[in-house]
Amino acid sequence: MYYFGKENWRTLERGIEKEWLVTNGIGGYASSTIVNLNTRKYHGLLVAAHNPPGFRVLHLTKLDERFQAGSCTYNLAANDNRSGFAEYGFIHLQQVSVEPLPTFTYSFGDITLVKTIFMAYGRNTTVIHYQARNGAEPAVLTLVPLVNCRGHHYITTQGEINFTQQLKEGGVSIKGREEIPPLLLSSSSGGYIPGDSWYAGMAYAAERERGENPYEDHYIPGRFEIPFAPGESKTFTVVASTEDIDNLDGEELLAAERRHLQGLARQAGYDDHLARRLVRAADAFIVERRSTGKKTVIAGYPWFADWGRDAMIALPGLALVTKRFDDAREVLLTFAKHRRRGLLPNAFFDGAREPVYNAVDASLWFVHAVYKYLNYTKDLDFVREQLYPVVKDIVHWYMTGTDFNIGMDSDGLISAGSPDIQLTWMDAKVDQWVVTPRHGKAVEINALWYNSVCILNMLSSMVGESPAYPELPARIKDNFIKCFWNEENHYLNDVITPDGPEDGLRPNQLMAVSLPYTMLTQEMGRSVVQRVWQELYLTYGIRSLSPFDERYQGVYLGDRLRRDGAYHQGTAWSWLIGPFITAYRRVNNYSPESRVQARRFILPFRDQLRDHGVGYISEIFDADEPAMPRGCIAQAWGVAEVLRALVEDVLEIQPIEETSQYRKTDW
């Protein structure tokens, strides 16, 4: 449980630093700051996924509370406004806890109000659960809904949407855009009084910082009023949904959500407190994809959809370490079903008929995920029937050549891309500017390629066939060392371009040490890890470029041009801590001393879970100290890789590798 007190919101600026997030298992979410002042266009109490996990629409922005007791009115609302008028209702906040459901305790006069927010799993439904104890005076609690009806990437201005409403028992149905289901609001106590007005000019500080439009208008359809007698206590719920809510009971939904979260912890079975917290965090990212009827992985909240690369990197931590093996199978099948010419989708985008395929590494990470799945489940039958043919297909296309100039060169190495397109995970592009050009032979792609060929040979033997390409690994290995090993710097070049090697110190070389099959000697691996530790390690992640490089950008701030210019030019990434810790333990022979140090690498994340997105791992951090969290407040591969490294490399809880007899390493 994460507790926060008044020291966390002594100023407005401090109060908006931390954000809460709850999700519903189909791509929908609710989120705001811990003082319930919205700072993003993505903040809201109900962002519904109408075509899971996509077509996400903001329906209910806020529910502002005002408590009138006798002659005193206590305004609990917290809002910033274009006009400069701000509401500071958070001064009445006594405590906020996230366990992981966000709970807010307000204390004013002789009155206490406790509010808990959660979503019903599998439904586009948010429940706001209230427990209120009135003081000595008769009182009325007024709840004012701020409503919208737009895609969560956009902004609404007054008059843009013609809202209509229809009274229903206990509440109201509010219709916005014709093609979007109405918002249904109901309260289990009090009554609804219709109105018709707008809240003009809500200001979003985070959008202003990102160079986006920071102002928005929201519709106010009316209000709920809940009366209180002197000394009366009430427990009641407000339900916001785009589905039928006639038979929904808020108390039952709360109990069900708590059972769901407790069940995840029991299923994973870890006693370690940090592991249990990360297991709960992992649940936010495993969601339904309606188009396949199976599970997929949301890359990050609040703005990312499901991305192939992110899903495959995150799968071991999200679904295998947590023992959600059925979900792991579904995620693998979701992306396998959509492969094209050996390529897995890079991303599914709203409104697009087909996914996009501009990723050279997603398919290779899929092969690695198959390997990890087999280690954890020993489910060779499923692998043989469903996944082995996909692995063979991927390797075949990479050998013979596929889209985006992806293919094996005569030296056995994989080359991909062109000056105009970026296919690796360092994929920032602004208009025609490829910020980090890495076309040619990238180090992590060829580490993944070697790993994939070795895994295919291993699987061939396990299913009773001859190794598919028995001679190829040795050729890849020899030429990889010749091309990538930088004898002068004692680390690996980042990419071999048509103009020669790019030798900037980047973290991608970690994959050549951390993946199951390595081409490096132990001495080489140790040197790589040491250089990364010296120049790239940054408490909550690994920098994407050395601070000594002239291209280095230490702060990720500003408009899109400035942000994307820093995205892979120094900015530290949380997910890279996983490969780093795995590589560190490996090159140190899993010694007791290396385990102690690995724990030191992990423990700071206990504090990170209390910052930015409470209960989650942030996407990125400024490369300069003090490593401010940036980007998504909750990132799938960040949570997944911290959890995987904690369990496998620190707690040393690993599956028994029946596949180890097929492993071929130098040390």
pLDDT tens per residue across span 96-115 = 999 889 999 999 999 999 99
Percent of the chain surpassing pLDDT 70: 98
DSSP class of 181: P
Domain assignment present for 257: no
Q: Which CATH number do you get for residue 612?
A: 1.50.10.10
Instruction: Calculate the alpha carbon distances from 102 to 9, 143, 615, 634 in Å.
Output: 16, 19, 10, 15
- Answer yes or no: do 141 and 283 share one domain: no
Model confidence band, residue 344 (pLDDT cutoffs 50, 70, 90): very high
Provide the domain count of the chain: 2
pLDDT at 323: 97
| Co-location of 576 and 614 in the same domain | yes
Write out the two tokens for 65: 């509370």
320 in a domain, yes or no?
yes
Q: Same domain, yes or no, for 527 and 444?
A: yes
Mean pLDDT, rounded, for 417-434: 82
Q: What is the DSSP string of 325-366?
A: HHHHHHHHHHHHHT-BTTB--SB--TT-SS-B---SSHHHHH
The residues facing 165 across adjacent strands are 174
Q: Is residue 262 part of a domain?
A: no
Question: Which residue, 44, 65, 67, is CA-closest to 56?
Answer: 44
Segment 511-527 shows an average pLDDT of 97
Residue 430 confidence (pLDDT) above 90: no
pLDDT of 246 reads 73
pLDDT at position 85 is 83
Q: 607-657: per-residue pLDDT in tens?
A: 999 999 999 999 999 999 999 999 999 999 999 999 999 999 999 998 865
Alpha carbon separation from 6 to 3, 36, 105, 109 (Å, rounded): 11, 14, 11, 17
* Two structure tokens written together for 161: 């949407």
Range of the domain at 121: 2-252
Q: Calculate mean pLDDT across residues 141-152.
A: 98
Helix H or strand E segment including 193? strand 191-203
pTM beyond 0.85, yes or no: yes
pLDDT at position 291 is 87
> What pLDDT sits at residue 21?
98
CB-based contacts of 606-613 (< 8 A; 24+ apart in sequence): 606/274, 608/540, 608/574, 609/2, 609/274, 609/277, 609/281, 610/2, 610/4, 610/18, 611/17, 611/18, 612/17, 612/18, 612/19, 613/19, 613/20, 613/21, 613/301
Instruction: Summarize the confidence of residues 16-44 as an average pLDDT.
Output: 97
| Same domain membership, residue 302 and residue 215 | no
pLDDT of residue 352: 67
Does 358 score more than 80 pLDDT?
yes
**What span, in angstroms and rounded, lies between the C-alpha atoms of 157 and 177?**
14
> Residue 664: which pLDDT band, with cuts at 50, 70 and 90?
very low
Answer yes or no: is pLDDT of 665 > 60: no
Q: Is pLDDT of 663 > 60?
A: no
Please report the pLDDT score of residue 654 as a whole number.
86
Backbone phi, psi, residue 5, to 5°: -125, -170
Name the average pLDDT for the chain: 94
Q: What is the pLDDT of residue 267?
A: 96
User: What does the pLDDT average to over 329-350?
Assistant: 93
Q: Do both 184 and 326 map to the same domain?
A: no
pLDDT of 662 above 70: no
Token couple for 101: 């459901």
pLDDT exceeds cutoff 70 at 376: yes
State the alpha helices, DSSP H only, in 497-537: 511-514, 522-535
pLDDT at 351 (0 to 100): 67
Same domain, residue pair 641 and 591: yes
Same domain, 321 and 451: yes
CB neighbourhood size of 160 (10 A): 15
- Asked, for residue 220, whether it belongs to a domain, the answer is yes
Domain shared by 368 and 506, yes or no? yes
Q: How confident is the model at residue 566 (pLDDT cuts 50, 70, 90)?
A: confident
Bigger pLDDT: 416 or 661? 416
- In a domain, residue 264? The reply is no
Per-residue CA distances from 405 to 304, 324, 436 (Å): 27, 36, 18
278 and 423, same domain (yes or no): yes
Whichever domain contains 123, its CATH number is 2.70.98
Same domain, 231 and 363: no
What distance in Å separates the CA atoms of residue 548 and residue 555, rounded to the nearest whole number? 15
pLDDT more than 90, % of the chain: 88
Which helix (H) or strand (E) segment holds residue 31: the answer is strand 29-33
State the alpha helices, DSSP H only, in 283-322: 308-315
